Amino acid sequence: MPRIVYVNGEYLPYAQASVHVEDRGFQFADGVYEVIGCIHGHLADETGHLDRLERSLAELKMPMPVSRETLRFLMRECLRRNHLKNAGIYIQITRGAARRDFKFPDPNTTGQSLVIIASSFNFDGNAAVLHGVKVKTLEDIRWKRRDIKTVALLAQALAKQEAVEEGLGDAWMVDPQGFITEGSASNAWIITKDQTLLTRPVSHDILRGVTRTAIEKICAEKKIKIIERAFTVHEAYEAVEAFTSSATALITSVIEIDGHKIGEGKPGPITKEIYNEYRAYVDGLRGEQVHWEAGL
């Protein structure tokens, strides 16, 4: 059975799914994306991801190409046509295909591109979640609007590649002052000796994770203390637990940073508790999903 992809109004077999050579996403990274996990048939934090998608588009002065309701339908249709219950759903929206020119094309003559790809993902047997990952720190070389989820991901790809070439799971990026910004595709968290969670406050320096927002809700309910402040690489080495959060990695333990073992070098109890609570929340056992606000 061929994989089916949604591209600009059509459901196409994967091998035939493509966008134009002059698509502005290809030429200028002039586009945004979202990733939503479908876990056992539940779209995790769908509302929050669509909130953030609208905001990313607005920051780049682009409208939603279709209504929210239509997007919700298209995602489900991609899942249905691919017989998927566990998947990462990627929505990519660009300013469309136009003759190469830095200035924006006329929106009356150039339609946006909308692509939706659902890829199978095994959330239950994810080795990284079960055993944790080792990370390295490296310089954050990205642009200054990391709060927008654009398709310009080269700096993150380079960071991830460097980590993987060293046999590690991921990279944590560091600002010029020596504070961790975030993971290559995730938010970064540490837990201090006094059992407090630290994560970087929302600003243009990081992408405000939808999973991060859900974790805040869970921790408020479970009376787990969170302080939003930037933490240094050295503080991360001293942490008793550390983890990353994202739509597909969910809550993944970080067990080693630059060769420094974190805690006992395996997923710790607070990280596991937050992971289990998040899974219960996605299954609808913790009431309403949270909305996402830019908070900037």
Among 29, 35, 155, 158, binds ligand PLP (CB under 6 A): 35
- Site size toward ligand PLP (CB under 6 A) is 13
Q: Which of residues 175-204 bind ligand PLP (CB under 6 A)?
A: 182, 185-187
Q: How far is the CB of 93 from ligand PLP (least distance, A)?
A: 15
Q: CA 156 to CA 170: how far, in whole Å?
A: 10
Q: Specify the residue, 108 or 122, whose C-beta has the smaller distance to ligand PLP.
A: 122
Q: What is the largest CA-CA distance in the chain?
A: 59
Q: How far is the CB of 98 from ligand PLP (least distance, A)?
A: 27
Q: CA 235 to CA 196: how far, in whole Å?
A: 12
Q: Specify the residue, 79 or 249, whose C-beta has the smaller distance to ligand PLP.
A: 249
Start-to-end CA span in the chain (Å): 45
Closest to 106 (Cα-Cα) out of 95, 116, 115, 114:
95
Q: Which of residues 223-252 bind ligand PLP (CB under 6 A)?
A: 245-247
Rule CB under 6 A: say whether 136 interacts with ligand PLP: no
Q: Specify the residue, 114 or 210, whose C-beta has the smaller distance to ligand PLP.
A: 210
What is residue 27's three-state secondary structure? helix
For 48, the token pair is 């929050």
Q: Specify the residue, 211 or 252, whose C-beta has the smaller distance to ligand PLP.
A: 211
Q: Specify the residue, 94 or 245, whose C-beta has the smaller distance to ligand PLP.
A: 245
Measured between alpha carbons, how far is residue 73 from residues 76, 78, 91, 109, 222 in Å? 5, 9, 13, 26, 34
- Name the residue with tokens 């398709």: 151
Q: How far is the CB of 286 from ligand PLP (least distance, A)?
A: 17
> Phi, psi at residue 174, to the nearest 5°?
-125, 135
The catalytically annotated residue of 61, 134, 144, 149 is: 149
For 21, the token pair is 């050579």
Asked if 244 and 265 count as a contact pair (C-beta separation under 8 A), the reply is: no
Rule CB under 6 A: say whether 207 interacts with ligand PLP: yes
What is residue 272's three-state secondary structure? helix
Rule CB under 6 A: say whether 211 interacts with ligand PLP: yes
Rule CB under 6 A: say whether 150 interacts with ligand PLP: no
> Phi, psi at residue 275, to the nearest 5°?
-60, -50
Residue 266 is among the residues annotated as catalytic for this protein: no
Rule CB under 6 A: say whether 212 interacts with ligand PLP: yes
> Could you give the residue numbers annotated as active site?
149
Residues found near ligand PLP in the complex (CB under 6 A):
35, 182, 185-187, 207, 209-212, 245-247
